[in-house]
C-alpha cells in the first residue's frame, strides 16, 4: 500500500500537470474558431447529459490539422525550427565541450568557482540577458563599436535581427545545460585511463578519441537533448534577436494565439510540436536509464 | 638433474635490461629519487619495496615514461629512454586501479593495445584468445569490466598489459585491491605467468610478504634511495642495515659497543652483564657502536640456562602472543630491553611450559645475530 502511494504521487503530478493540460489543448485543436469567449466551439454542455456529450464529440474534427498541411508556412516553420535547433545544438556542443573539459582538468580547488561561474547567469532574468544581447549586437552596439575602434571593419556588421543573432542567443542561453552534464561525465573519469591508453600505444590525440570521448558520450547526449528540446520550441530568442525572415514554430504559435486569436489552429500547432518532441524526449530518457545501469 | 640458479646479477657477462644511471627526480623542492644507480636483468621478477612516499612508484612511472628524469639516464635494452614517450616504449604497465576501459568489453580491453599496432584482425583475435586462456578469462570475454569480480578485473588488467608481449612489465601494487586469500593465490599465478611468458617483471609493493614470495630480487627503498638489493633470503638473513632488518619481518635490535675477540666480536650491551658474542664478515673497530639484529625465531627460550649456549641472558615474560602454530614471548631483560622470542607450539596449549611473569633464559648462537653498523 505504501509503495502504491509512493508511485502514485509522481503519476498524479504527471496527470494533473501534463496529461490534463494536454487533453485540453488537444480538444481545442479539434474545435473550430468562433467569435466568443473562449474563442472556439463546440463547448461541452454539461446540462444536456449524454446526448449533449455525443453531440459535442460529433462536432470535433481534424480540420485544423489538415489546414496545417495545406499552408506551407507551417511545415516550413517546423523544418526551419528543427534546422535552427540542430545547428545551435552542434554549436553549443562545440563551445561547451572545451569549456567542460578545461573545467574537469582544472585543479580541485578551482572547480567550485568555475562551476559557480557557469551557473551565475541564471541569477539574472533570462529576458534581461537576451535584451542585453540587443545592446551588444545592434548596429551601434558594443561589438560593432569595438570592431570599428580596432579597425577590423569600416562599416558596422548587421548581426541583430538575423539568424546569426538567434544562434548566438541560443548558444549563450543554453550553454550551461551543455557544460554541466559533460563536466560531470568528464569529472568522474579516472586519469589513469588515459595513461593506460598511452601506455598501450595511443598518442595523446587518439587517447582522447578512444577514451575521453566515449566515456563522456552520455554527458554529450544528455547535453544535446537539454539544448535541442527547448531550442526547438524557443520563442523569446527568435522574436527578440531574430529578423522577419527567422521562421520558428514557437513564434508562429505565439502569433496564432495572440495576434490571430485562432486558438484551435494554435493548439494544433502545439500538438504537432509536442509529437515531434516526444521522439527526442524518449531517446533522452533511454540514455539516462542506460547511464544509470552503467553506474551500478 | 642439476638446477642452474637464476642469478644474472652475479654474472659479470650478463647484460642488464634496465639500467638506472645516477637517476635523480625532483618535484619542485621535493627530491623523490636521489642519485640512484641500479641494474635489472632480463627475466627477473624485481620488487621495489618500501613505505609510501619512498619513491618506488615514481621510479616505476619513469620506466613507463609518465615522468621525466631530472638528472641521469635510464637505459632499456641499451637505449636511452629520455625522449621516448610512453606509447613508443616496449614497456607496459598494470595500474594499481587496473584502469580498465569501462566502455569496452574484456575482449576489447585486451585487444586495445594490439589494435593500436595496426595488426591484422585474425592475428589480434588469436593473441587475445591466447591471453584469455592464460588468465582463465575465456568465459568472461564479452562482459564489461563492471560485470566481473575484483579478482577477474585484476586478471583482465594483467592480460591487457601482457598482450603486446612487452620486454618489460611494470606492476603497480597489482594485488593491493584483493583480499588476503585471493592475494596469496594470485601471487603464485603471477609467478607462473611470469615464468611462462619470460617477461621481465618490475613490481611495486609495500607488502613485504608479497615481495618475498614473488621476487627474484627485492630492492628495499627509503626516501628516494635503494637501501639494499638482494634475493629475498639474503634480505631476510643478511640485512645491511637496521632499516632493512626492521622493514622485513620481525626483529630484535640490541645496541652495544663492539670489541674484537678471537673469531668474532664481543658486544657490550648493558653494565654488569656478560657481553654477547657475534660473528660477522664485516670489520668493526674496537669501541665502535653497533646494532645486533636477531630474528625472534632464532632466539631459544628455556627455564634453565642452557649449558652450551654462547649467548644466554635471563629475563621475565611480560607478554605472550599466541598465533596458533607459534607463540611469541615478549621478555624483559634486566636493563629494561624487550626481546621477542618465538617458539613452535608443538604441545597443546594447556601444557605450555611458560606463562606470564615466569623467569626464563634466552639463548642464541654466535652466528644467529647480524651485526650492523647503522
The three state secondary structure string of chain A is CHHHHHHHHHHHHHHHHHHHHHHHHHHHHCCEECCCCCCEECCCCHHHHHHHHHHHHHHCCCHHHHHHHHCHHHHHHHHHHHHHHHHHHHHHHHHHHHHHHHHHHCCHHHHHHHHHHHHHHHHCCHHHHHHHHHHHHCCCCHHHHHHHHHCCCCCCCCCCCCHHHHHHHHHHHHHHHHHHHHHHHHHHCCHHHHHHHHHCCCCHHHHHHHHHHHHCHHHHHHHHHHHHHHHHCCCHHHHHHCCCCCCCHHHHHHHHHHHCCCHHHHHHHHHHHHHHHHHHHHHHHHHHHHHHHHHC
B309's CB contacts (< 8 A; 6+ apart) are B300, B361, B363, B364, B365
Residues B272 and B218 reside in one and the same domain: no
Residues B226 and B283 reside in one and the same domain: no
Q: Is the peptide bond before A42 cis (omega within 30 degrees of 0)?
A: yes
CATH code of the domain in which A146 resides:
1.10.3720.10
Residues B323 and B226 reside in one and the same domain: no
Selected residues 98-157 of chain B with any CB under 8 Å from a CB in chain A: 99, 101-103, 112-113, 116-117, 146
> Whose grid coordinates read 637501501?
B227
Q: For residues A142 and A135, is the Cβ–Cβ distance under 8 A? A: yes
Is A214 an interface residue toward B (CB < 8 Å)?
A: yes
DSSP A257: I
Judge: A201–B113 Cβ closer than 8 Å, yes or no.
Answer: yes
Q: What is the pLDDT of residue B263?
A: 80
Residues B290 and B229 reside in one and the same domain: no
Residue B364, domain member (yes or no): yes
Residues B305 and B344 reside in one and the same domain: yes
Residues B210 and B149 reside in one and the same domain: yes
> Which residue blocks in B117-218 are alpha helix, DSSP H?
121-134, 150-162, 180-197, 208-214
Residue A110, domain member (yes or no): yes
Burial A200-221 (b: 16+ CB within 10 A, else e): bbbeeeebeebbbeebbebbbb
The residues with which B255 forms a beta bridge, in sequence order, are B291
Q: What is the pLDDT of residue B1?
A: 46
Q: What is the pLDDT of residues B160-173, one digit of tens each?
A: 999 998 989 999 98
How far apart (Å, rounded) are the C-alpha atoms in residues A232 and A253? 12
Q: For residues B292 and B370, is the Cβ–Cβ distance under 8 A? A: yes
Residue A46, domain member (yes or no): no
Q: Is the peptide bond before B339 cis (omega within 30 degrees of 0)?
A: no
Residues of A in Cβ contact (< 8 Å) with B204: none
| Three-state DSSP string of A266-286 | HHHHHHHHHHHHHHHHHHHHH
Q: What is the pLDDT of residue B2?
A: 52
Q: What is the pLDDT of residue B3?
A: 63
C-alpha cell at A171: 548558444
B281's CB contacts (< 8 A; 6+ apart) are none
CA triple B291-B293-B295, angle to 5 deg: 170
Q: Which chain B residue shows the shortest CA-CA distance from A188?
A: B102
Residue B129, domain member (yes or no): yes
Which residues form the domain of A159?
A: 70-295
Q: How many domains does chain A have?
A: 1
Residues B200 and B349 reside in one and the same domain: no
Residue A58, domain member (yes or no): no
CB count in 10 Å sphere of residue B127: 19
User: Which of B218, B245, B272 corresponds to the end of one domain?
Assistant: B245
* 3 state DSSP class of A192: helix
Residues of A in Cβ contact (< 8 Å) with B128: none
Residue B22, domain member (yes or no): yes
Residue A268, domain member (yes or no): yes
DSSP labels, A12-38: HHHIIIIIHHHHHHHHHHTSEE-SSSS
How far apart (Å, rounded) are the C-alpha atoms in residues A172 and A160? 15
Question: Of A15-29, A160-174, B33-47, B264-278, where does mean pLDDT reach its minimum?
Answer: B264-278
Which residues form the domain of B178?
A: 8-245
Judge: A197–B112 Cβ closer than 8 Å, yes or no.
Answer: yes
CATH code of the domain in which B290 resides:
2.40.50.140
Decide the pairing of beta strands B217-222 and B45-49: parallel
* 3 state DSSP class of B193: helix
Q: Which of B112, B115, B156, B163 to mutate to test the interface with A (most CBs of A within 10 A)?
A: B112
Residues B172 and B212 reside in one and the same domain: yes
Residue B77, domain member (yes or no): yes
Q: How many domains does chain B have?
A: 2
How far apart (Å, rounded) are the C-alpha atoms in residues B137 and B123? 19
The residues with which B71 forms a beta bridge, in sequence order, are B24
Compute, in degrees rounded to 10, the torsion defined by CA atoms A234, A79, A169, A265.
-30
Residues B127 and B235 reside in one and the same domain: yes
Q: ipTM of the predicted structure?
A: 0.81
The residues with which B38 forms a beta bridge, in sequence order, are B20
Residues B325 and B355 reside in one and the same domain: yes
Judge: A198–B86 Cβ closer than 8 Å, yes or no.
Answer: yes
How far apart (Å, rounded) are the C-alpha atoms in residues A100 and B322? 58
Mean pLDDT, all residues of chain A: 89
Q: What is the pLDDT of residue B323?
A: 87
Decide the pairing of beta strands B18-27 and B71-76: antiparallel
Q: Determine the distance from the C-alpha atom of residue B189 to the mean position of all C-alpha atoms in its chain, rounded to a whole number.
A: 17
Selected residues 216-245 of chain A with any CB under 8 Å from a CB in chain B: 217
Q: What is the pLDDT of residue A194?
A: 93
CB count in 10 Å sphere of residue A174: 25
Residues B130 and B277 reside in one and the same domain: no
> Which residue blocks in chain B are alpha helix, DSSP H?
56-64, 106-116, 121-134, 150-162, 180-197, 208-214, 232-237, 242-247
Residue B36, domain member (yes or no): yes
Judge: A202–B64 Cβ closer than 8 Å, yes or no.
Answer: no
Judge: A196–B117 Cβ closer than 8 Å, yes or no.
Answer: no
CATH code of the domain in which B228 resides:
3.40.50.300
C-alpha cell at B291: 646494532
Q: What is the pLDDT of residue A295?
A: 65
Q: What is the pLDDT of residues A220-262, one digit of tens each?
A: 999 999 999 999 989 899 989 988 888 899 888 988 888 888 8
Compute, in degrees rounded to 10, the torsion defined by CA atoms A206, A208, A214, A219.
-160
Residues B44 and B162 reside in one and the same domain: yes
Residues of A in Cβ contact (< 8 Å) with B64: 195, 199
DSSP B15: P
Q: For residues B194 and B200, is the Cβ–Cβ distance under 8 A? A: no
Q: What is the pLDDT along chain B (374 residues), one digit of tens a residue?
A: 456 778 888 888 888 999 999 999 999 999 999 999 999 999 999 999 998 888 899 999 999 999 999 999 999 988 898 889 999 998 999 999 999 999 999 999 999 999 999 889 999 999 999 999 988 899 999 999 999 998 899 999 999 999 998 989 999 988 887 888 888 888 888 888 888 888 999 999 988 888 998 999 999 999 999 999 999 999 999 999 999 999 888 899 999 999 888 788 888 888 888 888 888 888 888 888 999 999 999 999 988 888 888 899 999 999 999 888 888 999 999 888 999 999 888 877 766 778 888 899 999 988 888 888 87
Residue B3, domain member (yes or no): no
C-alpha cell at A185: 561525465
* 3 state DSSP class of B96: coil
Contacts 24+ apart (CB under 8 A), A12-18: none
How far apart (Å, rounded) are the C-alpha atoms in residues B265 and B279? 6
Amino acid at each position: 500500500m505504501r509503495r502504491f502511494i509512493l508511485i502514485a504521487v509522481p503519476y498524479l503530478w504527471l496527470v494533473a500537470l501534463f496529461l490534463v493540460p494536454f487533453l485540453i489543448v488537444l480538444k481545442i485543436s479539434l474545435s473550430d474558431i468562433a467569435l466568443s469567449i473562449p474563442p472556439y466551439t463546440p463547448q461541452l454542455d454539461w446540462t444536456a447529459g449524454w446526448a449533449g456529450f455525443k453531440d459535442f464529440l460529433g462536432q470535433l474534427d481534424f480540420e485544423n490539422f489538415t489546414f496545417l498541411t495545406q499552408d506551407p508556412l507551417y511545415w516550413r516553420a517546423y523544418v526551419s525550427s528543427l534546422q535552427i535547433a540542430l545547428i545551435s545544438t552542434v554549436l553549443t556542443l562545440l563551445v561547451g565541450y572545451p569549456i567542460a573539459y578545461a573545467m574537469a582538468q582544472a585543479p580541485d580547488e578551482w572547480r567550485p568557482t568555475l562551476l559557480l561561474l557557469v551557473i551565475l547567469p541564471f541569477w539574472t532574468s533570462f529576458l534581461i540577458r537576451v535584451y542585453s544581447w540587443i545592446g551588444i549586437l545592434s548596429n551601434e552596439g558594443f561589438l560593432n563599436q569595438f570592431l570599428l575602434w580596432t579597425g577590423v571593419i569600416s562599416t558596422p556588421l548587421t548581426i541583430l535581427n538575423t539568424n546569426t543573432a538567434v544562434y548566438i542567443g541560443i548558444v549563450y542561453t543554453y550553454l550551461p545545460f551543455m557544460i554541466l552534464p559533460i563536466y560531470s561525465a568528464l569529472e568522474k573519469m579516472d586519469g589513469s585511463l588515459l595513461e593506460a591508453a598511452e601506455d598501450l600505444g595511443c598518442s595523446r590525440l587518439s587517447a582522447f578519441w578512444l577514451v575521453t570521448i566515449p566515456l563522456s558520450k552520455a554527458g554529450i547526449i544528455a547535453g544535446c537533448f537539454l539544448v535541442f528540446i527547448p531550442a526547438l520550441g524557443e520563442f523569446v530568442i527568435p522574436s527578440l534577436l531574430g529578423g522577419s525572415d527567422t521562421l520558428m514554430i514557437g513564434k508562429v504559435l505565439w502569433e496564432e494565439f495572440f495576434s490571430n486569436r485562432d486558438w484551435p489552429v494554435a493548439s494544433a500547432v502545439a500538438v504537432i510540436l509536442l509529437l515531434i518532441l516526444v521522439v527526442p524526449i524518449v531517446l533522452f530518457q533511454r540514455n539516462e536509464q542506460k547511464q544509470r545501469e552503467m553506474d551500478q | 638433474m642439476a638446477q642452474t640458479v637464476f642469478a644474472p646479477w652475479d654474472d659479470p657477462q650478463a647484460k642488464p635490461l634496465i639500467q638506472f644511471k645516477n637517476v635523480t627526480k625532483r618535484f619542485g623542492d621535493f627530491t623523490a629519487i636521489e642519485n640512484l644507480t641500479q641494474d635489472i636483468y632480463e627475466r627477473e621478477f624485481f620488487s621495489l619495496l618500501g613505505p609510501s612516499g619512498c619513491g618506488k612508484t615514481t621510479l616505476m612511472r619513469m620506466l613507463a615514461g609518465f615522468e621525466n628524469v631530472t638528472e641521469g639516464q635510464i637505459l632499456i635494452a641499451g637505449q636511452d629512454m629520455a625522449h621516448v614517450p610512453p606509447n613508443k616504449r616496449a614497456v607496459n604497465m598494470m595500474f594499481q586501479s587496473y584502469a580498465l576501459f569501462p566502455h569496452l568489453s574484456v575482449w576489447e580491453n585486451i585487444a586495445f593495445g594490439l589494435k593500436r599496432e595496426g595488426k591484422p584482425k585474425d592475428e589480434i583475435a588469436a593473441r587475445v584468445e591466447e591471453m584469455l586462456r592464460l588468465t582463465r578469462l575465456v568465459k568472461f570475454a564479452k562482459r564489461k569490466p563492471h560485470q566481473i569480480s575484483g579478482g577477474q578485473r585484476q586478471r583482465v588488467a594483467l592480460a591487457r598489459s601482457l598482450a603486446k608481449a612487452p620486454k618489460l612489465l611494470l606492476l603497480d601494487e597489482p594485488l593491493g585491491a584483493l583480499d588476503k586469500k585471493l592475494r596469496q593465490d594470485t601471487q603464485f599465478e603471477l609467478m607462473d605467468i611470469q615464468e611462462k611468458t619470460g617477461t621481465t617483471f618490475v613490481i611495486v609493493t609495500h607488502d613485504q610478504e608479497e615481495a618475498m614470495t614473488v621476487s627474484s630480487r627485492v630492492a628495499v627503498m627509503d626516501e628516494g634511495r635503494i637501501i639494499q638489493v638482494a634475493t629475498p633470503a639474503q634480505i631476510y638473513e643478511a640485512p645491511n642495515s637496521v632499516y632493512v632488518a626492521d622493514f622485513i619481518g620481525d626483529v630484535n635490535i640490541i645496541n652495544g659497543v663492539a670489541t674484537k675477540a678471537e673469531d668474532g666480536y664481543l658486544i657490550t650491551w648493558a653494565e654488569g652483564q656478560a657481553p654477547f658474542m657475534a660473528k660477522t664478515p664485516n670489520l668493526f673497530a674496537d669501541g665502535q657502536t653497533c646494532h645486533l639484529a636477531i630474528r625472534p625465531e632464532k632466539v631459544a627460550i628455556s627455564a634453565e640456562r642452557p649449558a652450551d649456549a654462547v649467548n644466554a641472558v635471563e629475563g621475565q615474560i611480560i607478554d605472550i602472543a599466541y598465533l596458533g602454530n607459534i607463540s611469541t614471548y615478549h621478555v624483559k631483560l634486566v636493563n629494561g630491553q624487550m626481546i621477542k622470542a618465538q617458539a613452535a607450539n608443538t604441545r597443546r596449549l594447556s601444557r605450555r611450559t611458560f606463562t606470564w611473569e615466569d623467569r626464563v633464559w634466552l639463548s642464541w648462537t654466535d652466528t644467529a645475530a647480524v651485526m650492523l653498523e647503522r
